[in-house]
Amino acid sequence: MKSIIQFVRTTLLGGVFFLLPIAVLAIVLGKAMSLALESVRPLAKYIPADWSLGLPKEVLLAVALLVLICFVAGLLARTKLAQELAKGLEWSVLSKIPAYEYFRQVSASTLGFSQLGQHPVILVRLDVAWQIGIQVDGENNGLVPVYVPSAPDPRAGAVYFLGPDRIRPTSVPTVHAMNCLKRFGAGSSALFGTQVT
């Protein structure tokens, strides 16, 4: 019974945290589209009617404007100055917002575990069982911080600080480990050649 409740709770939380970044993105894009439409309306009257492609001219111009802004922003984001500014903003302002770091990691994981993918997949001994884990930082004061994802939703999990003797390295890519969890462990024999004792 306890495992069923935990499964329901984990699945519900996983659904919420999966939908939340998508909802925020939809709201932001909706606002951006509204602003873009307002900006291009004066210009739309100069566009010939046969250029509409079945859509209102304002919509086409607004989409083109948003694509152009995103492209320019992408170019700027590649510069060292922009990266330093973003890090400074994140450190001085965003990191002080409650749960910012958590939602940043959740958003990253929703888009493909882009943050977790930079860390090694390991096997972790908890009690009498071994579990899939991700080593998120190096050893500090004899303890290693490890994220242990849940199955079948790897976005939910727990953080543990464990001694090195309870950790075994693997050569498994993060995406394969996450897929193994989503399939309730199916394929683990092919994924993990690490011997544990």
Residues near 109 by beta carbon (within 8 Å), at least 6 away in sequence: 115, 116, 154, 155
- The verdict on residue 98 lying in a domain is no
Residue 127 counted as domain residue: yes
In-domain check, residue 27 = yes
Question: Is residue 136 one of the residues assigned to a domain?
Answer: yes
Q: Clarify whether residues 67 and 122 are in a common domain.
A: no
Asked whether residue 72 falls in the same domain as residue 22, the answer is yes
Report pTM.
0.43
Is 63 found in the same domain as 129? Answer: no
Number of domains in the chain: 2
Q: What is the residue range of 41's domain? A: 2-78
The answer to whether residue 106 sits within a structural domain is no
Count of C-beta atoms within a 10 Å radius of residue 16: 11
CB–CB of 77/83 below 8 Å?
Answer: yes
Residue 92 lies in a domain: no
- Low-confidence residues in the chain, pLDDT < 70: 1-2, 17, 49-54, 90-91, 93-117, 190-197
User: Which tens digits make up the pLDDT trace of 109-162?
Assistant: 544 455 566 788 888 988 888 888 888 888 888 899 998 888 887 777 888 999
Last residue of a domain, one of 78, 103, 128: 78
